[in-house]
Structure 1
Amino acid sequence: MTAFRSERPSDPDTHVHTLANGVRVLTIVQPHLESACVSVYVRTGSRHESARLNGISHVVEHMAFKGTRTRDCQQINLDAEQLGAEANAHTDKDHTAYHLRGLAQHAPQFIRMLGDIVLESQFPESELERERQVILQEYLEDEDDALSTAFKLFDEACYGRHALAQPVIGKRRNIERFSRDELMGYVQRQYTGANVIVAVCGPVDPQAMAAQAEAVFGAMPAGAPNLIAAPAYLGGVRTKRMSGSSQTHVVLGFPVPTQCDPDMPAAVMAATVFGEGMSSPLLDRVRERLGLVYYAGCSADVSDLAGQFVIEASTTPEHLDALFTEVTTLLQAQAVSIDPVHLERARNQLAVRSVRARERSQRRLEGAAQDLFVFGRVRPSGEWMERIASIDADEVRLQFERMLAAPVSAAITGKVPAGTKERCQHRLASLQSPSA
């Protein structure tokens, strides 16, 4: 007799089984495919790390493929590639994920192979020293990237010393120091049943996938959900000059509702209205009409802990002041009224984005897994679209009004002229004083 509980979300192709130890088995049946994606999501990332351990989730993800109790690194690679499968993994602020994609008939084997990697990795000392050098190269590449640096400084401006502001790549001194025992201890604490989702997408049998997952993951310790307190939003301006850069990179934004807030969809709509696509107010003004930038964009980055309305742009130093002037003017205009044409454009852009995400197996799996972590259920596809369809212009306008009443956060990197921070602070202060 199996020891899992079955649940049926609203979408008929989506199935969730919960094992006795809390591991959830998510299956999305797509009979029109011949391939299958199998992923294991673990609810642990840089936001779950102490300052001393910042970067350890990412190191664990790298090292998980370097040897288990029964397979060395070479055998792990060969086992996947003999089946024609693609192996991959990634680490984010809120989760770590391991993936295999190949023929649907091999999905049960993929569950076993990923289970071996997630549950039985041994982090061999010799492999750790080699991989440490690889990760340090990745760290240096990230440090040299002016826009990536701007985003890290932006997070610090938003959340200060809270773990949510920590970079996924971590700190260099930590990467250089992490020991095998630290990696093993971190996995033992964080990789527990309450924080694991085994996810499968393709032409597969949900009951068979649940049974296979139970055989592999059923003995995993149950543990408790990896939860942390939400940060306070701070605001402020950060700058960093970077030699060798001829451009100035800007990231600025405001707090918006979290993923769990009913107003969150209106914040996403606001970002889409403001800066998605060449016809949006942001791109049309600063790129098409004034030529101040080659690249600019706007997005709403929301999680269960916090939300950010983010504007990013790359310009030249002589255009920086003009860029800030135009962006602040555009933001103030949105807080007064929303053009119905742009509202309809944004609504359709979000609809297409949602449809395309559902058509991409890996993207759909990740979205469903995030739903399970945050809401405890997989939201039906129509729920998001119904909410987007219901948002009116005044809801979006109100989002801009609330944002402009909150502290602004900004980061400027690359070629940063003298006095930039002070001029930026002065210009952004006018957002709270529209008459200035």
Structure 2
Amino acid sequence: MYNIYKLKNGLRVVTEYIDHVNSISVGVMVQNGSRNEDLNQNGISHFIEHMFFKGTEKRSSKDIVQQIENVGGQINAYTSKEATCYYIKALNTHLDLSIEILSDMIINSKFDDEEIEKEQGVVIEEINMSEDAPEDVLDNNQAKAIFGDNPLSYPILGSIENIKSFNSKNIKEFVKSHYNPLNSVISVCGKFDEKELMKTLEEHFGSWEGDKNYVPKYETPILLTESKYTNKQIEQLHINLALKGLPYAHEKAYSLVLLNNVFGGGASSILFQKVREELGLCYTIYSYGQPYLGVGINSIYTGVSKQSAEKALSVISKELKNFAEKGISKELIEINKEKIKANYILGLESTSSRMFSNAKNMLLQNKVKTQEEVIKRINNINSDDINYVLDTCFKPGIISSAYVGQDIEYEKLNNIIEPNIKAYDTSNKEVISRV
């Protein structure tokens, strides 16, 4: 059962009561991520996520985590392109403690210069670790190739140069302007007393202010037909091919999920069966959507040997064209409705996953999608919906590409999939070719 209301300061609250569990998941989700930054600020949202754990007026950084872990709970956070979330999962008997600690972090964090300096070292090592991971480099390359200079292309971790520039003053200014009750949501899921919960939330979060004039706004980017390559001394060539997608909460979103499920969503998918099982060209291959507010992309990922790259891309390109032109049968539509309903339901088996889902829906759409509503939308997918998504997302083909590997002739690879893609080498930041 869902309940939605606002605190006196305008902070939205969404709760879901589940009688058969003895746990509680509480999250504070803020509509702020790397998409809310300018180039000089890039990385500050993620850095601030770290700093909220570094001490308040009444708790040290150790106290924050220890007080939750001492009662068997878990506390963590994440930053994405469009949101940051701070959350706790614990026994429902520790709900008040969970809410009080989250409010203390959000409202009373000190952002001490000494702690900032220490955390700069931590985040710089996180950036170094990410740059050693080819999949992370690939994701950043893909974002830059297709989104260009739009903030959606900015890496969530930011740059080492930017991290070194952050101080107490600019962090406090950013938090004051970007963290406020009107662009945030508290999500609670599990077993609780609703009246006591409302009272506790008002007591601990009612004093939260921030700049109430700030409203997150985004420019919708133009999808670019470019390519990015990073030369890295690794065994595999990592490839990401981008297609047009659908924006977050699009009415045909579940039709795209269904089509990705058929094309590259599992071991029985077209790409997996053809490229891995039949030809043995790779270990991993899949397709997936990346929806954002106002814009979306669809991607195909695989990792192959340098020697197999041309063959793999030829097969992927051929299978994509066949899939876009022929579509899928009504029988396959019905089979895959059941698959995505099962994936959806199984994905909501824990209080934390339901808490995240409710928070994101409330934050970005100002409403909650019930399980019944989602199942109904999936059941209602028809051939017209499928054809719309095929025409919109798959038939235009591959519009940009990203590569990470050792000494790759990526211009040659681009000509296999799409001769009009412009190629760049991120190693020297120069334009390599304009076909």
User: Counterpart of 1:198?
Assistant: 186
* 2:242 equivalent among 247, 253, 259: 253
Q: Distance in 2 between matches of 1:407 and 1:331?
A: 9
User: Counterpart of 1:366?
Assistant: 356
Residue pair 1:334, 1:397 contacting (<8 A) in 2 also: no
Shift of 1:249: 0.3
User: Counterpart of 1:286?
Assistant: 275
- In the alignment, structure 2 segments of 5+ residues that lack a partner are 422-435
* 2:53 equivalent among 40, 51, 65: 65
Shift of 1:356: 1.3
Tell me which moved more, 146-155 or 279-288. 146-155
Calculate the aligned-residue CA RMSD, in Å: 1.8
C-alpha distance after superposition, 1:83-117 (max 9, x if no partner): 22211111111111111111101112211110000
Q: Counterpart amino acid of 1:210?
A: M
Q: Counterpart amino acid of 1:408?
A: I
Matched, 1:130 2:90: no
Matched, 1:423 2:407: no
3-state DSSP of counterpart to 2:327: coil
Q: Distance in 1 between matches of 2:40 and 2:275?
A: 42
Tell me which moved more, 172-181 or 422-431. 422-431
Q: Counterpart amino acid of 1:372?
A: M
Shift of 1:367: 1.1
Matches within 5 A, 1:304-319: 304-319=293-308
Q: Counterpart amino acid of 2:55?
A: G
User: Counterpart of 1:334?
Assistant: 323
Q: Counterpart amino acid of 1:368?
A: N
* 1:30 equivalent among 11, 15, 18: 18
Matched, 1:231 2:214: no
Residue pair 1:248, 1:416 contacting (<8 A) in 2 also: no
Tell me which moved more, 355-364 or 403-412. 403-412
C-alpha distance after superposition, 1:362-406 (max 9, x if no partner): 111111111112221101212222222222345324423333326
Tell me which moved more, 389-398 or 315-324. 389-398
User: Counterpart of 1:80?
Assistant: 68
Q: Distance in 2 between matches of 1:92 and 1:145?
A: 18
User: Counterpart of 1:357?
Assistant: 347
Residue pair 2:244, 2:396 contacting (<8 A) in 1 also: no
Shift of 1:151: 1.0
* 2:392 equivalent among 394, 402, 426: 402
Residue pair 1:331, 1:400 contacting (<8 A) in 2 also: no
Q: In the superposition, relative to structure 1, how do residues 377 and 57 fare at CA in structure 2: closer, same or farther (>3 Å)?
A: same
3-state DSSP of counterpart to 2:207: coil
Q: In the superposition, relative to structure 1, how do residues 103 and 427 fare at CA in structure 2: closer, same or farther (>3 Å)?
A: closer
User: Counterpart of 2:165?
Assistant: 177
* 1:95 equivalent among 83, 88, 98: 83
- In the alignment, structure 1 segments of 5+ residues that lack a partner are 1-12, 432-436
Q: In the superposition, relative to structure 1, how do residues 385 and 425 fare at CA in structure 2: closer, same or farther (>3 Å)?
A: farther
3-state DSSP of counterpart to 1:296: strand
Q: Distance in 1 between matches of 2:185 and 2:270?
A: 40
Q: In the superposition, relative to structure 1, how do residues 41 and 185 fare at CA in structure 2: closer, same or farther (>3 Å)?
A: same
Shift of 1:173: 0.6
Matched, 1:147 2:107: no
Q: In the superposition, relative to structure 1, how do residues 397 and 165 fare at CA in structure 2: closer, same or farther (>3 Å)?
A: same
Q: Distance in 2 between matches of 1:232 and 1:427?
A: 21
Q: Distance in 1 between matches of 2:333 and 2:139?
A: 28
Q: Counterpart amino acid of 1:186?
A: F
C-alpha distance after superposition, 1:269-312 (max 9, x if no partner): 22112101111101000000001111111111112231111110
Residue pair 1:248, 1:412 contacting (<8 A) in 2 also: yes
Q: Distance in 2 between matches of 1:228 and 1:339?
A: 35
User: Counterpart of 2:425?
Assistant: none
Q: Counterpart amino acid of 2:119?
A: E
Q: Distance in 1 between matches of 2:76 and 2:412?
A: 44
User: Counterpart of 1:166?
Assistant: 154
User: Counterpart of 1:389?
Assistant: 379
User: Counterpart of 2:257?
Assistant: 268
Q: Counterpart amino acid of 2:280?
A: G
User: Counterpart of 1:10?
Assistant: none
Matched, 1:413 2:401: no
- How many residues are matched? 417
Q: In the superposition, relative to structure 1, how do residues 120 and 223 fare at CA in structure 2: closer, same or farther (>3 Å)?
A: farther
Shift of 1:82: 2.6
Shift of 1:426: 4.7
Q: Distance in 2 between matches of 1:337 and 1:389?
A: 22
Q: Distance in 2 between matches of 1:212 and 1:33?
A: 21
Q: Counterpart amino acid of 2:44?
A: I
Q: Counterpart amino acid of 2:261?
A: T
Q: Counterpart amino acid of 1:299?
A: Y
Q: Counterpart amino acid of 1:411?
A: A
Q: Distance in 1 between matches of 2:183 and 2:215?
A: 6
* 2:232 equivalent among 242, 267, 287: 242
3-state DSSP of counterpart to 1:358: coil
Q: Distance in 1 between matches of 2:226 and 2:295?
A: 17
Q: Distance in 2 between matches of 1:332 and 1:390?
A: 26
Q: Distance in 2 between matches of 1:225 and 1:425?
A: 43
What TM-score, normalized to structure 2?
0.92
Q: Counterpart amino acid of 1:199?
A: S
Residue pair 2:51, 2:119 contacting (<8 A) in 1 also: yes
Q: Distance in 2 between matches of 1:255 and 1:346?
A: 22
Identity %: 25
Residue pair 1:252, 1:409 contacting (<8 A) in 2 also: yes
Q: Counterpart amino acid of 1:388?
A: I
Q: Distance in 1 between matches of 2:94 and 2:164?
A: 38
Tell me which moved more, 77-86 or 139-148. 77-86
